[in-house]
Amino acid sequence: MDFSWSAEARQRHRAARDLGRRISADIDARDRAAVFSIDAWDALGEAGLLGCFVPLELGGQGLSLLDTVYVHEGLARGCDDGGLLLGAHAHMFGCLPPLLAGCSDDQKARWLPRLASGDDICALAMSEAGAGSDAFSLSTAATQDGDHYVIQGEKVWTTNGPRADWILVFARTGDGSAMQALSAFMVPGDAQGLVRHPDVPRLGLRTCDVGPVSFDGVRVPVGDRVGAEGAGAQLFLTAMEWERIGIMTAALGSMDRLLTDSVRHVRKPRGDRAPLKSHQAVTHRLADLRRDLEASRLLLYQAAWKVTDGRRAAVDAALSKLTSSEAHFTAALTALRSFGAAGLVEGSGVERALRDATCGLIYSGTSDIQRSLVARMMGA
Amino acid sequence: MTESIQDIITEFILEEFMDGEGELDPDEDLFEEGILDSMSFMRLLEFFEVRFDVRVPMADITMDRFNTIYRAVAHLRSQGATV
């Protein structure tokens, strides 16, 4: 594999980085107020950054996943709004792959163009309060009633849930093994019986709306089922493989920014005292940060390359997610140690990076879930 | 004698998911029998890719192509799987 980029790819990367800087200039105020920016979302949509790998004929950019992650790494390098990136990535990497894999041509023509442009926002509703580490242990059920399904249940931690135009929900449609008894449905955000609960106040990534979604007898036409009845598990596995790869581009961009800022900071003159870089303990931490960034980058590129090449990437995606999220958290701590007390101050960017990075250890499968997945895939 | 694709898959499932014990009917539903779950299924797909030099992209995966050994063999053969 060759991870050198074409001139065109580098141009896309730079353009996304520059856009990211522009749309996140007001992040400190919005983070304090926990406000999502629809203007920033629209700017991502207009730049084609919400449908990179969607085919051209469906309104996307027609890029491979490998080219997509490079663009989004650039976006994240410039964009300091981790919440916005979480929402964008849950929408694009979590929702669009299962739709592309499972929808009929008519369904694709109906849903994908507005999702690829960002005109419609999508949320993936899978997690349930009682499921624990087994994502497939669902109690939400969809029962067929004539030419409709009736969905009953509640999902938690639904990224984009409070404002989504469409919710891609997974529900049981039969008894027996979850591998053959789950199905996926596209539910409009204004469906009768659907309750989108408010954003849950939380530690980090506060500029993204995340909350529970309840389905109280929501009627969905059979024609809005995604894929065959019973195909939900495979579609969810598709979603997780792509999401775990794509979502960590935000960690790469943030780590790169933290490293640059930290190096700049430790080189600063300090009056009569030697700059911080004269202390080996400080510079060794930055060398470790660079090592972790490069390792995370290569694992992520390798996973994206495998998907692009049509190979299995479940282990690669889990290793990438585990490595990048843990490295991001360590990088934020390293930056805080480099900046000292100044990094604790609101508006410094460092304390927000640490809060945001902490969330990365949890979402899209915790670090321990990723470890368990890798271990089981090795037969251990 | 050369092992067949069916033999290789049966041996892998027996060894890796059934502790080398019991018997496998190539027509039994591996999900309904509780032999495969989401993790072991992903592992089986990875094994197919490496052992038989085929691609099994997500878009091609439906459970009714892989829920029995017979069906998995048929699908892998259609994808040009070689022993």
Per-residue pLDDT of A43-56, as tens digits, reads 999 999 999 999 99
Q: CB-based contact (8 Å) between B41 and chain A?
A: yes
What is the pLDDT, as a whole number, of residue B17?
93
- pLDDT band, residue A18 (cuts 50/70/90): very high
Per-residue pLDDT of A258-287, as tens digits, reads 999 999 999 999 999 999 999 999 999 999
The count of structural domains within chain B is: 1
Mutation to test the B interface, candidates A226, A234, A308, A309, most B Cβ within 10 Å: A234
**Segment A159-182 mean pLDDT:** 94
Q: Does residue B38 lie within any of the structural domains?
A: yes
Q: CB-based contact (8 Å) between A361 and chain B?
A: no
Question: Percent of chain A at pLDDT above 70?
Answer: 99
CATH number of the domain located at residue range(s) A235-267+275-377 in this protein: 1.20.140.10
A57 given a catalytic annotation: no
Residues of chain B falling short of pLDDT 70: 1-2, 58-60
Q: Does residue B19 lie within any of the structural domains?
A: yes
Q: What are phi and psi of A214, to 5 degrees?
A: -110, 140
- The residue extents of the domains of chain A are 7-121, 123-231, 235-267+275-377
How far, rounded to the nearest angstrom, does the alpha carbon of residue A48 sit from its chain's CA centroid? 17
Closest CA to B38 of A240, A378, A130, A178: A178
Q: pTM of this prediction?
A: 0.94
CATH number, domain of B32, equals 1.10.1200.10
Per-residue pLDDT of A186-204, as tens digits, reads 999 999 999 999 999 999 9
- Residue A133 pLDDT > 70, yes or no? no
DSSP A56: G
Cα distance between residue A239 and residue A336, in whole Å: 34
Q: CB-based contact (8 Å) between A312 and chain B?
A: yes
What is the pLDDT, as a whole number, of residue A132?
65
Any idea what the Cα angle at residue A222 is, between residues B31 and B58, rounded to 5°?
45
* A7-121: in CATH 3.40.50.300: no
Residue in A73, A241, A243, A326 annotated catalytic: A243
CATH superfamily, region A123-231: Butyryl-CoA Dehydrogenase, subunit A, domain 2 (2.40.110.10)
Q: Does residue B18 lie within any of the structural domains?
A: yes
Q: Residue B44 belongs to what domain range?
A: 5-78
Q: Does residue B83 lie within any of the structural domains?
A: no
Closest CA to A81 of A154, A137, A26, A19: A26
ipTM value: 0.81
